[in-house]
Structure 1
Amino acid sequence: MHSHPPLQSVIHGTATDRKNVNLSNSYDVFVVGGGINGCGIAAEAAGRGMKVGLCEQSDLAAATSSASSKLIHGGLRYLEHYEFRLVREALAEREILLHKAPHLIKPLRFVLPHRPHLRPAWMIRTGLFLYDHLARRNRIPGSRGLAFHGNDQHPANPLQDSIVKGFEYYDCRVDDARLVISNALSAHEQGADIQVQTRCLNARRQDGLWHITLQHIASGQRQTCTAKTLVNAAGPWAQRFIEQNLQATSPRKINLIKGSHLVTRKLYQGDQAYILQNEDQRIVFVIPYQDDFTLIGTTDKAYHGDPAQVAMDAEEEAYLLDIVNRHFKHAISSEDVLWRYSGVRPLCDDESDSPSAMTRDYTLELQTNEQNQAPLLSIFGGKITTYRRLAQAAMKALAPHLENLQPAVTDAAVLPGGDIGDTDFDVWVALVQHQYEWLDGEHCRRLCNAYGTRIHTLLADCRQLTDLGEHFGAGLFQREVDFLMQQEWAHSADDILWRRSKLGLRLSPQEAQHLSDYIALRLKAKAKQVDAGPAQAQLPCTPTIEPALRQAV
């Protein structure tokens, strides 16, 4: 079980009318960026005894980290580009993360239909053999061949009749945004200061330290702090942060690659995912999503616009629909699409011929002043599966500049909510359901998947459904909304529906607006309460209901 601090210690601000507030905060490590890499580094550093601060200009996981294919995977296709180290590292991390967050990460069976004119069977078998053996595999079954006709195991085969053979292997699904938030919670529980809706305006080196100016987005209030080391984990904004906010030269050029996904109603029966080969040698995933939906993606397309405004275009949608329709019996069109979302992957410019060929590996660049002080560590590239290894590499790079850095502990430590021991997750869910018999089974499983053992904190003192308060729709009650605001830095309906609860597809526009109004009123009341207190009290961020980057259609 994990205990969590009250609202005022989670959500940062200041109860003052002054526009510039000088705080006495001094950090060992200050991280700019609240995606998976930034929160992973914060958790790693805090777990090793460092005083850590993190700022995020929007919400945790608001950009690339919540716009993924929602997989923890070794990257089967990376073997074609001879990225054996990356695949080995990712496969090893897959096993570790299954242990660290069993509520968020679960094995997923993949079916790879064989299209002989694209890749011969021997090539696929060789790739799957390597995939099975590049790293130790304790929790994941191995691969095998499949025959789709005359096989009782596939009575409801959704693939077209021309596809008669294929292959099966396993990877994992993940709740991407909740993995980010879990790392932020882990960092916070170990003393890190997490500030959302807070921009790093600038940072400068002085007397061997970084002097950092932060600005709260909604109020315009400023605060300053110092740090021994500065980590640039701004993702798609990493190069811009160096050049504009730090007035320095970026050691790397990054290419922004747009990846888009679409979601439809459930296309087929069964819990298996599909990995489809396309004529351009790319692959596209078709994945069961939240029981009632199917997630399809991704694309790879160079992007030159504002990362905050990225969106799927008609060409990408046609591309994804076409590959599905060339593999499945049930054809789909744009009218079947319920949700479109896009993210921007910041990949190092390695002079590859195409976006698909660019490495997904990460690069760390360390820059210091002339006295080898005040290092800036910039993160370029990376993928969600290897975030923890990236965080360890980041701390190794910063170690010469940090005193009393303790040994790494994240290999064995579970993330908040993941402490179910050796109990099988489904068995544990059944035990929880028995404890809360008044809770609907589907509702209970969703809460177990989202919060793990933290469900007991969420439901503390609840004895019946009415104890959960107002129902906003789709099983989202006031108790959960308040919990997310108090414990997980949620400030808007977007934060809750599209990242923390994943209920955005299930609430009507009217229900979502009612939720938004409730959040605004609650934050306003809390701000008034704090304003009436002592000057040093802390204030929740002023509510700003941002336009959703990914809207249900």
Structure 2
Amino acid sequence: MENQTWDLLVVGGGINGAGIARDAALRGLSVLLCERDDLAQHTSSASTKLIHGGLRYLEYYEFGLVRKALQEREVLLRLAPHIIGPMRFVMPHDASQRPAWMIRCGLFLYDHLARREILPGSVGVDLSRHPAGGPLKRGFRRGFEYSDGWVQDARLVVLNALDAAEHGATILTRTACVAVSRHQRLWRATLRGADGVERTVQARALINAAGPWVDRFLRDEAGLAASKSVRLVKGSHIIVPRLFEHDYAYIFQNPDKRIIFAIPYERDFTLIGTTDVEYHGDPAEVAINEDEILYLCTMINRYFEREITPADVLATFSGVRPLLDDAADDAASVTRDYSLELAGGKGAPLLSVFGGKITTYRKLAEQAVDMLAPKLGAVLPCQSGLSPLPGGDMPTGGFDAWVGLAKARYPWLPQGVLARYARAYGSRLERVIGAAKSLAELGVEIAPGFYEAEARYLVDVEWARSTEDLLWRRSKLKLHFSPAQMDDVADWLVRYLAAPARSDAARRNTAPA
């Protein structure tokens, strides 16, 4: 590695860094991505799990951002139909909220700001007859229904990194970039592995996609000043037992003018969020506090007949959003758009990413590589909006038709396991299962429904190195397993990582020692 000159060194393995690595690799550039922790370990696995235009951003007149996000919503639904799918949202309405005519106007704009081919438009609904009206308090008699999308956010990051790797990129997880320096037309970077061993690499261009640490990386590792900055805003979520049996999600308007979502989640749960709280601590140590839990419970209880308390909360997660600082008065109104800053002049270029949201990551990546392409001699056009993500290449008829074929091919797989595999791996399912023709051939059942074949795939191919990688970011099995079952997974992982030899894929995806 020390003897190679890369076209592009990407610092940061969140959605923006992984998206940039993929876009650049698809154009034939040599790419090295380093991430000090796991892929998507911080902000990119702590979203509300939505691919959406951002209905509430219309209130702040961010029509350009909403249009861009709505355009990308259609693109992403096609690229990864296994981990991204349509969802219908219901917005209950009463006299204390924004006028109904205003909401109708907003939804009309939402339906028509960008071309829409996959998702149906918005409608008014009678909640006394609509399935989503049943769990609500009786005072809510009318509402609105519209479309957006859901996403497995951490898997979206992993699949971008995997596609980049399959097109020649090198992905190093648990590898920190601790220093960079410009030497005329090259950047030299010091990378430190998890074991503390350092090595020096060089690249023709550098991408700072460090998310919440973008300012700090410029200042401390690069020794440079930035003309822009990010504003750190904490968003927290709670997970409670399922509050309703239908598949609709809710968007609720609250007295403080904020909105929160209640989303069907992982079959047995309801995901509720998010908060918007200014954050000044270490982004790696972010966590929900009691006030946020109480706030989310209180807001939800304004709507549902079945009220919840903090005692009902089964799990929580928080993330720090590195929002582009636009001097907005409050955290909720800070723009979710992004800005790309290119520096370097005639020397080696450095591009820093400020802000952004998961829905627009692919467009951000396209624009970032477009800015660097002339300096790197890249002539191939962007392919990231046309090439499906790993597992997303479905036959005619789409995801549902493919699931039918998978059921016929693997009749011995329990339906619950097959459904989860289909949503996690899509058409890559056969790579997880391999040549197995029975459950016994999938290896030991490490925990209920979690077989050795899948665990090996996640370690060997998808860079998993800890139980959190396996059971939270690559899957959400942590929500379904007992502490003892999670211990069984941890024991298996220790043994497997200590094995003297693993597959070629495992060696390729292991960070340098």
2:19 counterpart residue number:
40
1:201 counterpart residue number:
178
| Deviation for aligned residue 1:539 | 8.9
1:116 is aligned to 2:95: yes
1:252 counterpart residue number:
228
Superposed CA RMSD:
1.6
Query: C-alpha separation between the residues in 1 aligned to 2:288 and 2:127?
Result: 33
Query: C-alpha separation between the residues in 2 aligned to 1:404 and 1:273?
Result: 43
> Which residue, 247, 254, 278 being the options, matches 1:271?
247
Contact 2:172 2:512 in 1 (8 A): no
1:392 counterpart residue number:
366
1:66 is aligned to 2:37: no
Aligned residue identity for 1:517: D
Query: C-alpha separation between the residues in 2 aligned to 1:516 and 1:306?
Result: 27
Query: C-alpha separation between the residues in 2 aligned to 1:474 and 1:69?
Result: 27
2:78 counterpart residue number:
99
1:420 counterpart residue number:
394
| Deviation for aligned residue 1:155 | 8.1
Q: SS where residue 478 of structure 2 aligns? A: coil
Q: SS where residue 182 of structure 2 aligns? A: strand
1:10 counterpart residue number:
none
Higher relative contact order (CA 8 A, sep 6+): 1
Contact 1:523 1:540 in 2 (8 A): no
Q: 1:50 to 1:34 in 2, by over 3 A?
A: same
Q: 1:514 to 1:35 in 2, by over 3 A?
A: same
Contact 1:29 1:231 in 2 (8 A): yes
1:17 counterpart residue number:
none
Contact 1:88 1:134 in 2 (8 A): yes
> Which residue, 276, 296, 299 being the options, matches 1:300?
276
> Which residue, 232, 235, 245 being the options, matches 2:208?
232
Of 448-457 and 243-252, deviating more is 243-252
Q: Percent identity?
A: 49
Q: SS where residue 167 of structure 1 aligns? A: strand
2:147 counterpart residue number:
170
Q: SS where residue 201 of structure 1 aligns? A: strand
1:379 is aligned to 2:356: no
Contact 1:115 1:277 in 2 (8 A): no
Cα-to-partner distance string for 1:89-134 (whole Å, 9 max, x where unaligned)? 1111111111100001110010001132220001100000000000
| Deviation for aligned residue 1:138 | 0.6
Contact 1:94 1:172 in 2 (8 A): yes
Contact 2:132 2:248 in 1 (8 A): no
In the TM superposition, structure 1's runs of 4+ consecutive aligned residues that sit over 4 Å from their partners are none
Aligned residue identity for 1:423: G
Q: SS where residue 299 of structure 2 aligns? A: helix
1:30 is aligned to 2:1: no
Correspondences of 1:426-441 after superposition (within 5 Å):
426-441=400-415
> Which residue, 320, 326, 332 being the options, matches 2:308?
332
Contact 2:97 2:253 in 1 (8 A): yes
Q: SS where residue 131 of structure 2 aligns? A: coil
Contact 2:193 2:512 in 1 (8 A): no
Contact 1:274 1:287 in 2 (8 A): yes
1:455 counterpart residue number:
429
Aligned residue identity for 2:41: A
| Deviation for aligned residue 1:251 | 2.3
Q: 1:155 to 1:270 in 2, by over 3 A?
A: closer
Query: C-alpha separation between the residues in 1 aligned to 2:510 and 2:176?
Result: 15
| Deviation for aligned residue 1:187 | 0.3
Query: C-alpha separation between the residues in 2 aligned to 1:141 and 1:273?
Result: 15
Aligned residue identity for 1:451: Y
Q: SS where residue 407 of structure 1 aligns? A: coil
Contact 1:474 1:503 in 2 (8 A): no
1:505 is aligned to 2:482: no
Q: How many aligned positions are there?
A: 510
| Deviation for aligned residue 1:269 | 1.4
1:403 counterpart residue number:
377
Aligned residue identity for 2:499: A
> Which residue, 114, 118, 138 being the options, matches 1:161?
138
Correspondences of 1:290-369 after superposition (within 5 Å):
290-369=266-345
Structure 2-normalised TM-score? 0.97
1:471 is aligned to 2:445: yes
Query: C-alpha separation between the residues in 2 aligned to 1:354 and 1:52?
Result: 38
1:52 is aligned to 2:31: yes
Aligned residue identity for 1:161: R
Q: SS where residue 417 of structure 2 aligns? A: helix
2:126 counterpart residue number:
147
Q: SS where residue 525 of structure 1 aligns? A: coil
Cα-to-partner distance string for 1:423-478 (whole Å, 9 max, x where unaligned)? 23122112101100000111101001000010011112101001111112231111
2:217 counterpart residue number:
241
Query: C-alpha separation between the residues in 2 aligned to 1:541 and 1:185?
Result: 14
1:487 is aligned to 2:464: no
Contact 1:491 1:541 in 2 (8 A): no
Unaligned runs of 5+ in 1: 1-21, 531-536, 544-553
Query: C-alpha separation between the residues in 2 aligned to 1:404 and 1:32?
Result: 20
| Deviation for aligned residue 1:422 | 2.9
| Deviation for aligned residue 1:156 | 6.2
Q: 1:164 to 1:205 in 2, by over 3 A?
A: same
Structure 1-normalised TM-score? 0.90
Contact 2:131 2:246 in 1 (8 A): no
Query: C-alpha separation between the residues in 2 aligned to 1:472 and 1:230?
Result: 41
Q: 1:309 to 1:245 in 2, by over 3 A?
A: same
Q: SS where residue 201 of structure 2 aligns? A: strand
Contact 1:185 1:416 in 2 (8 A): yes
1:519 is aligned to 2:490: no
| Deviation for aligned residue 1:141 | 0.5
Query: C-alpha separation between the residues in 2 aligned to 1:399 and 1:333?
Result: 53
Query: C-alpha separation between the residues in 1 aligned to 2:208 and 2:310?
Result: 39
Query: C-alpha separation between the residues in 2 aligned to 1:89 and 1:32?
Result: 25
1:7 counterpart residue number:
none
